[in-house]
Amino acid sequence: MRRTAACLIYILIVLLMFIFLGCASGPRGKLKRVQDPTEEELRRNWKEYTVYYRRDLALIFKLKNDSKILLDGSWIEVNSGNMMKNARILSSTWVKEIIGQNDRMFGYLVHRGADNVYCGIVDENTVKISYFYVRTSGGP
């Protein structure tokens, strides 16, 4: 019985590895860390962008053009100065350019440095941002 259970677990692990490798093999966009603009500059000029907020973790400043950034349901669109003022990130942040196919610029991501973020290319006008919170002591 133990040998059968061990074989089943082994097969399950192999299947999961194939699934993860298959998901990870799609085209990737770039998230390039930048010093300019700063988080403060982006916040000050937030009306020049379409802004999305993930509570206590991140902000996306999407360029206002025909491009699309696909996000999960955890993000909300910031549509007032009061919302922008209350959109806080609880720990030190990084600013990254969101770059898609053919080095097309989609906007900026401001996020906690401890978290993992991936950018997948859907097509030349669309990227998908996958955000993964990493628990740290005293986190949100």
Q: How far apart are CA 116 and CA 10, in angstroms?
A: 28
For the cut 70, the answer to whether the pLDDT of residue 98 exceeds it is: yes
- Residue 1 above 90 pLDDT? no
For the cut 90, the answer to whether the pLDDT of residue 12 exceeds it is no
pLDDT band for 23, please (50, 70, 90 cuts).
low
Cite the DSSP H helix spans in the chain: 2-24, 39-44, 81-86
Whether the model clears a pTM of 0.85, i.e. scores above it, the answer is: no
How high is the pLDDT of residue 39? 94
Rg, the chain, Cα only: 18
Confidence of residue 107 (pLDDT cuts 50, 70, 90): very high
Sheet strands (E) in the chain: 30-33, 49-54, 58-63, 68-70, 75-78, 93-99, 105-112, 116-123, 126-132
> What pLDDT was estimated at residue 128?
96
- For residue 98, how far is the Cα from the chain centroid? 9
* Contact yes or no for 120/130 (Cβ under 8 A): yes
pLDDT in tens, 68-97: 999 999 999 999 999 999 999 888 899 999
Share of the chain above pLDDT 90, in %: 68
User: Residue 59, Cα to own-chain centre: how many angstroms?
Assistant: 9
Listed by start position, the domains of the chain span: 27-132
